[in-house]
């Protein structure tokens, strides 16, 4: 195992951090079997699906498309669910806080539970759309005993610090009515002093702990929930409004705890610090106070099957088609698809962004044809609002247009990380943006007639609008917007646009260096590194400096179409590889087995896919429709009708086309009816005017 670990380290150094050229060459010559052993030695965390939260290791309930509805529907407990994306840097950075919160309120599980669902998992794409998840992380509350489908209530706290979220959980529990309050949740409202006096007069077989606190304090409610799974003790809270009552009991400071023992004795407890943890720990340690045998439901955690993973060897000096196409797949089928319909500024942003892609994307002909077809369709669309499903119909080629193709799952090569949650989509998006700015600078004529020509900021501004409007990581988009406001207006030439994006990318790398989202095998260092571009680096008076002239030449060469490598790219002739929705068979998130050699891929014809893969199924029983509504038993018949309609739509009509046809038919019918009645009335008037009675 040690030898395998050394091999893995050598391979990582050759592909990640700067290393001498000779070492990189030696690493690239490693036999595939050794690479396989090295990846296997890295442990299960290195492969499989990207998991920020792990079943059995964290107190977080790990949900997926098959369990989220069953867990939150008609549950005896309330839920707080984090919808996140494993590629989102902010989500990765927030994961320790979420894990700590779940551990901190573990004893509250009978009343409210902490869960997480990864929207980056292909099998979860549809359910995240159904819950209207646009940005990550998104936090939703679900009340207990919710029978009808609901997308939940958004978290409304001023920040996402652990204490703030914990307190909003308490507020959410108190917002339940008596009819839907979790039965295990004890009363959280304060009691009156008279109620405490009656407890003193009537001896109880249990301990009664009374927390005196101010109206703004949460200590009493937190201690009540901390003791929820314990028996032989009852916790109440009283506000400090009745000063005479407090003086009678000897309460001189708040928060304080007054304890009534089962034998009738009572008094203030002496505690080191008036903190929640001190109160809870003391009360849990009392004689005969022990945990109940609660029958909590089994956690709906998905099984984690260890997978054998193989590292895809790649050359850092090359740009890989697979990375760009995988990024397009995720962008078009997942990120944009989170928006059920587009109108106004959103629709204009989509049209401009697709125009830039169609004119400047340097990839393979089938992908370019798809982008060009999509751009023409959007440009000629007469509607002010479109359902995004209509765009998906075209991206998935339901109209069977010959020669159109886009991979239907992610397959990272130059963007693969040492673990699946590292790099991936964000890496491919940066590569795509750099490629677009370089193509605009080297082939400006490509934008002629689009309305974007003669504007050196056009591509950058389009990218800016896309990130602001659609990019899932909200914190990331806010940071990009700050950089754009600061200096994007200073860009006056296409070359300056290329360098502006490069500088900001390095600025982001510098900010994220050492962050939890940083891949340890691919450290965030200034790029290009000296081994990739020695001429880009200089020293002036002993300080490092960039030679921006050489940097510009390097960027134009590195992100040009001539530097694109099709190794590992999906075969356009394979129906299972693209042209439809994501497949359930191969769920690639990072590392996977090598593909066919490049030569074999080009030898096959570019035939369109012939089979429409099935949509991922939601759990049996009540179902979530794509419109976000709950489908009950009768919904199965409706689903069969939809499935039966798919071949008809696949004959050349998308759902939007059918809607337009119906609209045209109705308008034509109304027009004919109006004309019929018009001529009928006119005919009657003519007869009356020209009728002459006989004498």
Asked whether the beta carbons of 658 and 649 are under 8 A apart, the reply is yes
Residue 142: how many other CB atoms lie within 10 Å: 23
Closest CA to 94 of 421, 418, 412: 421
| Distance from C-alpha of 44 to C-alpha of 46, rounded to nearest angstrom | 5
Asked whether the beta carbons of 307 and 47 are under 8 A apart, the reply is yes
Catalytic residues: 88, 91
Helix (H) or strand (E) holding 268: strand 266-268
Phi, psi of 214 (to 5 degrees): -80, 170
Find how far residue 437's CA is from the centre of its chain: 26
| Distance from C-alpha of 439 to C-alpha of 418, rounded to nearest angstrom | 30
How many CA atoms within 13 Å lie on the side-chain side of 126?
20
SS3 170: helix
| Distance from C-alpha of 457 to C-alpha of 134, rounded to nearest angstrom | 27
Number of helices (H), then strands (E), belonging to the chain: the values are: 23, 19
Q: Are strands 112-118 and 61-63 parallel, antiparallel or unpaired?
A: parallel
Find how far residue 653's CA is from the centre of its chain: 31
What's the chain's length in residues? 695
Asked whether the beta carbons of 223 and 275 are under 8 A apart, the reply is no
Q: What is the DSSP letter of 334?
A: I
Give the helix ranges, DSSP H, for 214-320: 219-226, 243-249, 276-284
Terminus-to-terminus CA distance in the chain, angstroms? 122
Cα-only R_g, the chain: 32
Asked whether the beta carbons of 390 and 654 are under 8 A apart, the reply is yes
SS3 266: strand
Locate tokens 């629709």: which residue? 347
Q: Are strands 256-260 and 385-387 parallel, antiparallel or unpaired?
A: unpaired
Provide CB contacts within 8 A for 466, sequence distance 6+.
349, 353
Give the helix ranges, DSSP H, for 191-264: 193-201, 219-226, 243-249
Q: Give 114's strand partners.
A: 80
Helix (H) or strand (E) holding 208: strand 207-213
Closest CA to 368 of 380, 354, 379, 381: 354
| Distance from C-alpha of 448 to C-alpha of 84, rounded to nearest angstrom | 40
Locate tokens 């909200």: which residue? 474
Provide CB contacts within 8 A for 101, sequence distance 6+.
114, 162, 165, 166
CA distances to 195, 206, 263 from 202, rounded to whole Å, are 11, 11, 11
SS3 413: coil
- For residues 520, 522, 528, 534, the Cα torsion angle rounded to the nearest 10 degrees is 80
Provide CB contacts within 8 A for 483, sequence distance 6+.
504, 507
């Amino acid at each position: 195992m040690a030898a395998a670990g050394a091999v893995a380290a050598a391979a990582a150094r050759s592909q990640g951090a700067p290393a001498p050229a000779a070492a990189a060459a030696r690493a690239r010559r490693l036999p595939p079997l050794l690479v396989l052993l090295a990846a296997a030695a890295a442990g299960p965390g290195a492969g499989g699906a990207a998991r920020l939260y792990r079943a059995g290791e964290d107190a977080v309930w790990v949900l997926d498309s098959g369990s989220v509805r069953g867990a939150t529907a008609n549950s005896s407990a309330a839920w707080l669910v984090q919808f996140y994306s494993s590629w989102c840097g902010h989500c990765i950075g927030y994961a320790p806080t979420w894990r700590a919160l779940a551990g901190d309120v573990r004893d509250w599980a009978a009343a409210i539970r902490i869960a997480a669902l990864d929207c980056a998992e292909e099998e979860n794409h549809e359910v995240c759309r159904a819950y209207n998840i646009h940005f990550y992380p998104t936090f939703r509350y679900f009340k207990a005993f919710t029978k009808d489908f609901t997308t939940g209530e958004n978290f409304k706290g001023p920040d996402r610090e652990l204490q703030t979220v914990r307190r909003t959980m308490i507020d959410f529990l108190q917002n339940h009515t008596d009819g839907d309050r979790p039965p295990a949740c004890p009363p959280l409202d304060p009691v009156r002093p008279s109620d405490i006096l009656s407890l003193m007069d009537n001896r109880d077989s249990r301990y009664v702990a009374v927390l005196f606190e101010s109206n703004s304090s949460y200590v009493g409610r937190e201690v009540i929930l901390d003791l929820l799974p314990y028996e032989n003790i009852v916790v109440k809270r009283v506000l400090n409004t009745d000063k005479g009552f407090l003086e009678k009991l000897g309460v001189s400071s708040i928060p304080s705890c007054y304890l009534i023992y089962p034998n009738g004795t009572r008094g203030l407890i002496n505690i080191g610090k008036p903190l929640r943890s001190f109160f809870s720990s003391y009360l849990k340690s009392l004689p005969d106070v022990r945990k109940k045998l609660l029958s909590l439901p089994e956690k709906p955690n998905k099984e984690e099957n260890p997978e054998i993973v193989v590292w895809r060897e790649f050359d850092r000096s090359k740009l890989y088609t697979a990375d760009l196409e995988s990024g397009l797949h995720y962008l078009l089928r997942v990120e944009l698809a989170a928006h059920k319909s587009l109108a106004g500024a959103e629709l204009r942003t989509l049209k401009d962004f697709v125009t830039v892609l169609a004119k400047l994307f340097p990839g393979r002909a089938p992908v370019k044809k798809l982008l060009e077809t999509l751009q023409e369709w959007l440009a000629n669309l007469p509607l002010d609002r479109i359902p995004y499903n209509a765009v998906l119909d075209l991206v998935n080629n339901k109209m069977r247009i010959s020669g159109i193709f886009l991979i239907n799952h992610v397959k990272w090569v130059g963007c693969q990380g040492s673990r699946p949650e590292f790099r991936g989509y964000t890496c491919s998006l940066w590569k795509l943006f750099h490629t677009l700015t370089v193509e605009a600078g080297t082939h400006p004529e490509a934008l002629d007639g689009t309305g974007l020509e003669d504007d050196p900021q056009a591509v950058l501004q389009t990218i800016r609008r896309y990130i602001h409007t659609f990019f899932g990581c909200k914190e990331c988009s806010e940071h990009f917007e700050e950089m754009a406001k600061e200096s994007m207006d200073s860009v006056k030439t296409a070359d300056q646009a290329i360098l502006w994006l490069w500088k900001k990318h390095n600025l982001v790398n510098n900010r994220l260096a050492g962050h939890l989202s940083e891949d340890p095998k691919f450290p965030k260092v200034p790029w290009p590194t000296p081994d990739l571009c020695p001429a880009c680096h200089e020293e002036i008076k002993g300080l490092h400096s960039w030679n921006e002239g050489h940097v510009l030449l390097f960027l134009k060469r590195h992100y040009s179409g001539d530097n694109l490598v099709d190794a590992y790219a999906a075969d356009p002739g394979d129906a299972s590889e693209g042209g439809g929705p994501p497949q359930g068979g191969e769920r690639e998130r990072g590392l996977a087995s090598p593909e066919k050699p490049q030569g074999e891929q080009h030898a096959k014809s570019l035939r369109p896919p012939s089979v429409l893969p099935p949509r991922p199924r939601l759990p049996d029983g009540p179902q979530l429709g794509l419109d976000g509504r709950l489908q009950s038993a009768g919904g199965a018949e409706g689903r069969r009708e939809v499935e039966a309609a798919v071949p008809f739509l696949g004959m050349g009509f998308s759902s939007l086309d059918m809607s337009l046809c119906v609209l045209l038919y109705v308008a034509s019918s109304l027009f004919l009816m109006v004309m019929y009645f018009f001529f009928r009335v006119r005919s009657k008037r003519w007869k009356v005017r020209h009728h002459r009675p006989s004498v």
